[in-house]
């Protein structure tokens, strides 16, 4: 009955699982391939579906899907159950329930007259509620019992073994409901498997044992075996590992979901018949198909009687040269080997052994104490130990350590500072304090909350600042908090990550030889060079046209330009670290040199009325890129009319009307983008 108590603890867990299922019931199926057989396990998803399937049964079908690695054009269907599978009759359970508690639970859940929490109904509605709870409990306990033993699942019609599979075939197994659809529509379950899918069950690993007084706590890896093993068998050997016997009649399960959530390990407490005798342990896992894993690697050990009492200091005094210690400990009733005197600078350790005392010793004199001492005495034997509470003894000390020397350091591009210095030689040195300032002559601030024990330290400083350096000092502190004077100031130059402020143009104008630019220098002190860029109005990119040093003039004339073209200019500054500022706001300008020294000559206009046209002719000796023809009819506005090649000297205008007066103008566009003046003439047509 003790196993039924464990099951009771799990009842609420299985009830919540049953209530959390989808509205439409279904059958969930698992498969396990052995060397010659395929084992199936299933379970309905709701208590009502389970109750009705117990009444009407399950139908198991096998569909051959592939053979010799190739899919069949027409799958081969075979019904494996001659009649729907139902739980075995009650009489078949009689002999089994006497030997197995889980079989008794399953039989009671299926056939028992009552499975109620209580019979004290206060009303009809409470009776309905309790009946619902009863069915859920029957369902939960029946599934749990079937999970623990495969033969219980067989008796409960929740499993099937196919003895006829072939090694070269793969199957789709379907478990169907025999319940009439009009009573309840239950979805079938299915699984795809073949003999080639056989996988050996893994061995339990990481078995550990902690031995105590006639007891041992065993633990092993559980989380990685979830879904593989639902229970475990712990075996013990008392004859040196020759023969093993289970430590309990029933497999070991986790009795609480909270217990599973808290630890990834499984635990078992076992008692030992006697101390100082070696026992061996190993663990096996059991699957839902009743398979047992190979045994784990064994662990061994023996129980022992722990030290019952702890030493207790009765005296701890000093003359500021040595320390006298005395303690008490029972002379009888506790088996120990001796004592260890341990000392530390801190109450929480670490403690170091300074003396090993004999079994009958109860005092010790420390001739070379530290400035601050925490003492404890430890009673020990080969299996255990007990220590006293620590006591504090301090010597008088008002002399500070010497000033630390050799402070140096490096700083990287992101502001990580690595400081190092020479180690002090004092025995009572607690550590070092680090001080920092952004200015050499300003107040230094301590940046370490506690004393630094080692002679190096990492700091982080802001590199995006206008202060170019950071300054450090360190001091040494002993255990009585006597502090040395600070070390000489050590400076580190911050990496330059801020580009200089950009220069600005203060003027732009056109002069006879080009465009004159003047600018104001960057206010950043580490500026080394200035770069002037130009972009024509029809150009996409910027072109570097001038590189100035900080000592060059801030006035520059751009002579490499074309007249009558608009240009944009911008300027940047670059510092000693190679960082370039953002560009200044662009300025625009153009050259006023647009008039050529030559004009078209001997412009003639003729009215050719027979051909209904006007003929223009002119002369020009210098090379010409093109000629521009302007025209005005009587009171209209003069406008550019036509453009002809520079090699042409005659223009025919056929777009004229009789009895009209026309004014024509000719302008030459010479090389270099210069324009001649416009030469005009008038004709009556």
Mean predicted lDDT score pLDDT of the chain: 87
Taken in order 107, 109, 113, 115, is the CA torsion positive or negative? positive
Question: Which pLDDT score is estimated for 335?
Answer: 82
**Chain position carrying tokens 């030290």:** 307
Under the banding of pLDDT at 50, 70 and 90, the label for residue 17 is very low
| CA–CA gap between residue 658 and residue 660 (Å, rounded) | 5
Mean predicted confidence (pLDDT) in 129-136: 73
Q: What is the DSSP track for 249-281?
A: SS-B----HHHHHH-SEEEEEEE-SSSS-EEEE
The answer to whether the beta carbons of residues 201 and 228 sit under 8 Å apart is yes
127 has a pLDDT exceeding 70: no
Mean predicted confidence (pLDDT) in 107-122: 66
Mean predicted confidence (pLDDT) in 524-534: 90
Of residues 144, 157, 149, 133, the one with CA closest to residue 58? 157
Q: Give the end-to-end CA distance of the chain in Å, rounded to a whole number.
A: 133
The answer to whether the beta carbons of residues 354 and 345 sit under 8 Å apart is no
Of residues 376, 345, 220, 386, the one with CA closest to residue 293? 220
| CA–CA gap between residue 84 and residue 175 (Å, rounded) | 10
Spell out the residues 6+ positions from residue 354 whose beta carbon is closer than 8 angstroms to its own.
Answer: 341, 342, 343, 366
Structure tokens at 313: 């200091």
128 has a pLDDT exceeding 50: no
The lowest-confidence range among 5-19, 77-91, 116-130, 147-161 is: 5-19
455 has a pLDDT exceeding 70: yes
Mean predicted confidence (pLDDT) in 629-653: 86
Structure tokens at 96: 């089994």
More confident of the two residues 332 and 426: 426
115 has a pLDDT exceeding 70: no
**Domains, the chain:** 2-197 (no CATH), 208-302 (2.60.40.10), 312-394 (2.60.40.10), 408-493 (2.60.40.10), 504-589 (2.60.40.10), 601-684 (2.60.40.10)
| CA–CA gap between residue 673 and residue 626 (Å, rounded) | 10
| CA–CA gap between residue 177 and residue 174 (Å, rounded) | 10
The answer to whether the beta carbons of residues 174 and 186 sit under 8 Å apart is no
Q: Over pLDDT 90: what percentage of the chain? A: 54
Q: Do the bridges between strand 278-286 and strand 299-302 make them parallel or antiparallel, or are there none, so unpaired?
A: antiparallel
Question: Which pLDDT score is estimated for 79?
Answer: 95
Mean predicted confidence (pLDDT) in 481-505: 90
User: 393 in helix, strand or coil?
Assistant: strand
pLDDT 10s digits, 241-299: 999 999 988 888 865 445 445 578 899 999 999 998 999 999 999 988 888 999 999 99
Spell out the residues 6+ positions from residue 73 whose beta carbon is closer than 8 angstroms to its own.
Answer: none
Question: Which pLDDT score is estimated for 10?
Answer: 35
Under the banding of pLDDT at 50, 70 and 90, the label for residue 592 is low
Mean predicted confidence (pLDDT) in 579-603: 81
Alpha carbon 242 to chain centroid, angstroms: 49
pLDDT 10s digits, 61-114: 999 999 999 999 999 999 999 999 999 999 989 888 888 888 888 899 898 876
Question: Which pLDDT score is estimated for 7?
Answer: 37
Question: Which pLDDT score is estimated for 9?
Answer: 33
Q: Over pLDDT 70: what percentage of the chain? A: 91
Residues pairing with 639 in the sheet: 631
User: 146 in helix, strand or coil?
Assistant: helix
340 has a pLDDT exceeding 60: yes
Question: Which pLDDT score is estimated for 22?
Answer: 52
Helix (H) or strand (E) holding 387: strand 385-387
| CA–CA gap between residue 664 and residue 679 (Å, rounded) | 8
More confident of the two residues 172 and 371: 172
| CA–CA gap between residue 37 and residue 671 (Å, rounded) | 100
More confident of the two residues 277 and 676: 277
Mean predicted confidence (pLDDT) in 552-563: 81
């Amino acid at each position: 009955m003790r196993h039924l108590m464990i099951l009771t603890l799990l009842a609420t867990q299985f009830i919540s699982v049953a209530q959390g299922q989808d509205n439409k019931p279904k059958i969930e199926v698992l498969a396990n391939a052995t060397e010659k057989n395929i084992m199936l396990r299933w379970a309905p998803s709701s208590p009502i579906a389970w109750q009705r399937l117990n009444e009407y049964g399950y139908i198991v079908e096998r569909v051959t899907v592939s053979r010799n690695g190739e899919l069949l054009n027409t799958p081969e269907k075979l019904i494996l159950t001659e009649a729907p599978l139902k739980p075995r009759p009650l009489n078949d359970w009689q002999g089994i329930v006497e030997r197995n508690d889980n079989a008794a639970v399953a039989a009671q859940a299926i056939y028992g007259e009552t499975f109620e929490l209580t019979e004290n109904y206060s009303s009809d509605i409470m009776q309905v509620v309790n009946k619902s709870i009863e069915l859920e409990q029957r369902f939960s306990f029946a599934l749990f019992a079937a999970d623990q033993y495969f033969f219980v699942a067989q008796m409960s019609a929740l499993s099937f073994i196919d003895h006829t599979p072939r090694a070269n075939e793969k199957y789709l197994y379907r478990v169907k409901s025999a319940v009439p659809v009009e009573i309840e529509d239950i979805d079938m379950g299915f699984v795809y498997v073949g003999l080639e899918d056989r996988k050996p069950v893994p061995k339990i690993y990481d078995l550990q044992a902690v031995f105590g007084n006639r007891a041992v706590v065993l633990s092993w890896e559980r989380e990685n075996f979830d879904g593989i093993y639902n229970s475990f068998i712990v075996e013990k050997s008392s004859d040196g590992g020759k023969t093993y016997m289970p430590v309990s009649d029933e497999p070991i399960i986790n009795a609480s979901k909270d217990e599973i959530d808290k630890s990834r390990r499984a635990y078992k407490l076992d008692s030992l018949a006697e101390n100082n005798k070696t026992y061996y342990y190993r663990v096996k896992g059991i699957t839902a198909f009743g398979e047992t894993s190979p045994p784990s690697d064994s662990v061994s050990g023996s129980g022992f009687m722990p030290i019952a009492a702890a030493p207790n200091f009765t005296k701890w005094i000093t003359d500021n040269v040595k320390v006298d210690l005395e303690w008490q400990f029972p002379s009888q009733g506790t088996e120990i080997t001796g004592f260890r005197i341990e000392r530390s600078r801190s109450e929480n350790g670490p403690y170091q052994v300074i003396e090993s005392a004999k079994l009958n010793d109860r005092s010790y004199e420390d001739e070379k104490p530290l400035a601050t001492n925490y003492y404890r005495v430890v009673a020990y034997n080969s299996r255990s130990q007990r220590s006293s509470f620590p006591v504090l003894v301090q010597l008088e000390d008002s002399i500070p350590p010497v000033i630390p020397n050799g402070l140096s350091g490096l700083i990287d591009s992101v502001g990580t500072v690595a400081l190092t210095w020479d180690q002090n030689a004092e025995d009572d040195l607690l550590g070092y304090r680090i001080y920092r300032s952004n200015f050499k002559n300003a107040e230094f601030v301590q940046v370490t909350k506690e004393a630094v024990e080692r002679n190096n330290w990492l700091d982080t400083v802001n590199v995006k600042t206008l202060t170019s350096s950071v300054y450090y000092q360190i001091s040494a502190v002993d255990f009585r908090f006597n502090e040395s004077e600070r070390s000489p100031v050590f400076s580190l130059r911050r990496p330059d990550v801020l580009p200089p402020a950009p220069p600005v143009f203060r003027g732009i104008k056109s002069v006879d030889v080009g465009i004159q630019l003047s600018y104001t220098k960057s206010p950043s002190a580490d500026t080394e060079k200035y770069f002037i860029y130009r972009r024509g109005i029809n150009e996409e990119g910027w072109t570097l046209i001038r590189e100035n040093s900080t000592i060059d003039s801030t006035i520059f004339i751009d002579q490499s330009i074309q007249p009558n073209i608009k240009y944009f200019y911008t300027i940047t500054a670059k510092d000693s670290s190679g960082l370039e500022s953002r560009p200044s706001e662009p300025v625009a300008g153009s050259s006023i040199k647009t008039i050529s020294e030559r004009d078209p000559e001997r412009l003639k206009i003729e009215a050719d009325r027979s051909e209904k046209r006007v003929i223009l002719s002119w002369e020009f000796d210098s090379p010409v890129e093109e000629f521009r023809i302007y025209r005005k009819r009587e009171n209209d506005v003069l406008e550019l009319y036509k453009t002809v090649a520079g090699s042409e000297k005659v223009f025919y205008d056929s777009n004229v009307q009789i009895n009209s007066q026309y004014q024509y103008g000719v302008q030459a566009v010479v090389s270099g983008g210069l324009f001649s003046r416009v030469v005009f003439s008038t004709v009556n047509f």
